[in-house]
């Protein structure tokens, strides 16, 4: 993969993370800069709906996907599915304190 492709993939992931956080499908641990799934059963559906609306509106925030709603939704679903249920780094600190 070229440097340009890596950068584009990272940019797409950043867009997806923002959508997921705004929809409540992921939470961001500011201290450790990680994302985790708060296990909100309806959040994925909200995130998918928000992503579709942004593509349909040709919003600049999703321009990197060139109108490819399927690619955006697939990456969104993958990122959420891959997320831990909590911030692992915070959990490690909590374990050390016990």
The contacts of residue 98 (CB under 8 Å, 6+ apart) are: none
Calpha distance 54→48 (Å, rounded): 10
The model's pTM: 0.89
Statement: residue 90 has pLDDT above 60: yes
Tens digit of each residue's pLDDT (9 = 90 or more) over 30-61: 999 999 999 998 999 999 999 999 999 999 99
Domain ranges of the chain: 3-97
The contacts of residue 59 (CB under 8 Å, 6+ apart) are: none
Q: Which two tokens stand for residue 15?
A: 């867009």
Contact 25, 45 (CB under 8 A): no
């Amino acid at each position: 993969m070229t440097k340009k492709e890596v950068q584009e993939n990272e940019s797409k992931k950043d867009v997806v993370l923002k959508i997921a956080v705004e929809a409540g499908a992921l939470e961001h641990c500011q201290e450790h800069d990680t994302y985790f799934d708060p296990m909100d059963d309806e959040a994925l559906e909200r995130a998918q709906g928000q992503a579709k609306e942004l593509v349909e509106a040709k919003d600049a925030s999703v321009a990197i996907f060139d109108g490819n709603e399927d690619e955006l939704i697939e990456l969104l679903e993958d990122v959420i599915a891959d997320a831990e249920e909590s911030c692992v780094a915070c959990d490690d600190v909590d374990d050390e304190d016990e």
